[in-house]
Amino acid sequence: MKRVLILMVVIATFLFWGCTKQKVASPDLKDSLQNSVAKINNAVKYISGTDGYNILTAGSSDLKSEMDFSDSITLDMVKGIYDFNPDFHHHHMFFIPHRIFERTGESENMVVNMPYKLVLHPWRLHNVQSEDAAADNNFTINASDYHYYYSWFKNYDYKIIADFILDSEDIGSIDIYSEGSSESGRSYSSSYTFKDGYNISVEYLSGDSTVSSFALAETDDILLKETFIRLRKENEKRELKYMLTIGNIEIVRGTGIDSIQVYLDGVLQQEAGAIITDSNSTGNSVCHHRDILLTFDDGTTENLSELIKPAREVLASLFDSLHSMNFATNIVNYIAISIYYHN
């Protein structure tokens, strides 16, 4: 009996020591936030130095969207290998692009070889000059999935999955799906995966209420994710729920919640608090016009905008690029339409 009691005391002491050790080792809200923000800033610093980032943020604001295209294209119609080789004797007609690509081989994918500088300056692709013909075709678009189905009343269904290669090196891939109708509006998802595992994505689902999100991840680990649920009724865009995930921290505001809630590893933090401020009536995101003041257990505070300041401008440009899908619209679609009409 005495041996049993001694054994129970030893076990209880061990368990108490283990629990105490675990509690001490567990980071608090402030430490967790600092660690998570450091990962975000490091990830964005890496992304901003990649060719994939240059592609996504290439200037195209001066180009007219090709989403006015009113025909349907499937991958079978444009599959093959094509090299940039502009034909300056073929005149531009209405919305039909110039004949700028020559079919040079067979493939089940749409493989397009072209000068990288035309990707960085899309307006040059739309207005090819004679000096562009001498540029090296050092950039490749390899689309394994592509379709653009269009019907009357602006109903459409669009999909592209494509890898990008620059100077024989993989620089990432895109995966975009978009659909729209005059009744339900537009819904889409858009993502870019960089060669070393970082990926960014946006989603927008339209219905009685709209759900939109923006996420930055390293493989399957979410570094930053922001989700909005808004009422979609006539011109009203009232925010019903807002969720921000930063590593293992989640901040939630909803119409049925008395205050903004802060969670750490899924546990509600009773002493922590948050205040959300918007400097603009539209486009409120921590990437743009939204800031969050966090109050920790010890009473100290931090502005999220200051913590992610090194990354915020880059995050804003990625946020806008993925939502607008300019690369797919002004480059890939333009190329596919050119191939389709001149094939």
289-342 pLDDT, tens digit per residue, is: 899 999 998 889 999 999 999 999 999 999 999 998 888 888 898 899 889 888
CB within 8 Å of 268: residues ≥ 6 apart: 261, 262
* Per-residue pLDDT, 231: 85
Please write the tens of the pLDDT for every residue from 221-279.
999 999 999 887 656 568 899 999 999 999 999 877 778 999 999 999 998 999 999 98
Q: Which helix (H) or strand (E) holds 337?
A: helix 333-342
* Confidence grade of residue 95 (pLDDT, cut at 50, 70, 90): low
Parallel/antiparallel/unpaired status of strands 301-303 and 290-295: antiparallel
* Per-residue pLDDT, 89: 73
Question: Measured between alpha carbons, how far apart are the two ends of the chain, in Å?
Answer: 91
In this model, does residue 152 exceed pLDDT 60? Answer: yes
In this model, does residue 1 exceed pLDDT 70? Answer: no
Q: Please state the rounded mean pLDDT for residues 188-197.
A: 93
Q: Please state the rounded mean pLDDT for residues 96-123.
A: 91
* Confidence grade of residue 125 (pLDDT, cut at 50, 70, 90): confident
How much helix, strand and coil, in percent to the nearest 5, is found in the chain? Answer: 30, 40, 30
* Per-residue pLDDT, 183: 76
Q: How far apart are CA 27 and CA 248, in angstroms?
A: 11
* Per-residue pLDDT, 49: 95
Furthest C-alpha separation in the chain? 102
**Which of 69-78, 128-137, 310-319 is modeled with the greatest confidence?**
310-319
In this model, does residue 66 exceed pLDDT 80? Answer: no
DSSP state of 133: G
Q: Please state the rounded mean pLDDT for residues 109-121.
A: 94
Cβ 77 vs Cβ 317: under 8 Å? no
Residue bearing the bigger pLDDT, 95 or 292 = 292
Q: How far apart are CA 34 and CA 36, in angstroms?
A: 6
Q: How far apart are CA 120 and CA 140, in angstroms?
A: 13
| Distance (Å) of CA 91 to CA 65, 87, 100, 228 | 21, 9, 11, 47
pTM for the full predicted model? 0.85
Q: How far apart are CA 29 and CA 297, in angstroms?
A: 8
In this model, does residue 16 exceed pLDDT 60? Answer: no
Task: Report the candidate in 130, 149, 124 with the shortest Cα–Cα distance to residue 63.
Answer: 124
* Per-residue pLDDT, 8: 44
* Per-residue pLDDT, 21: 34
Tell me how many degrees the CA angle 33-248-196 measures, rounded to the nearest 5: 90
In this model, does residue 13 exceed pLDDT 70? Answer: no
Q: Which helix (H) or strand (E) holds 325?
A: none
* Confidence grade of residue 138 (pLDDT, cut at 50, 70, 90): very high
User: Directed axis angle between helix 29-48 and helix 309-324, to 10°?
Assistant: 60
In this model, does residue 2 exceed pLDDT 80? Answer: no
* Confidence grade of residue 97 (pLDDT, cut at 50, 70, 90): low
CB within 8 Å of 62: residues ≥ 6 apart: 123
* Per-residue pLDDT, 15: 43
Q: How far apart are CA 308 and CA 116, in angstroms?
A: 31
* Per-residue pLDDT, 61: 53
| The 3-state secondary structure of 269-320, one letter per residue | CCCCEEEEEECCCCCCCCCCCEEEEEECCCCCEEEHHHHCHHHHHHHHHHHH
Q: How far apart are CA 47 and CA 66, in angstroms?
A: 28
Parallel/antiparallel/unpaired status of strands 80-84 and 110-114: parallel
In this model, does residue 10 exceed pLDDT 50? Answer: no
In this model, does residue 68 exceed pLDDT 60? Answer: no
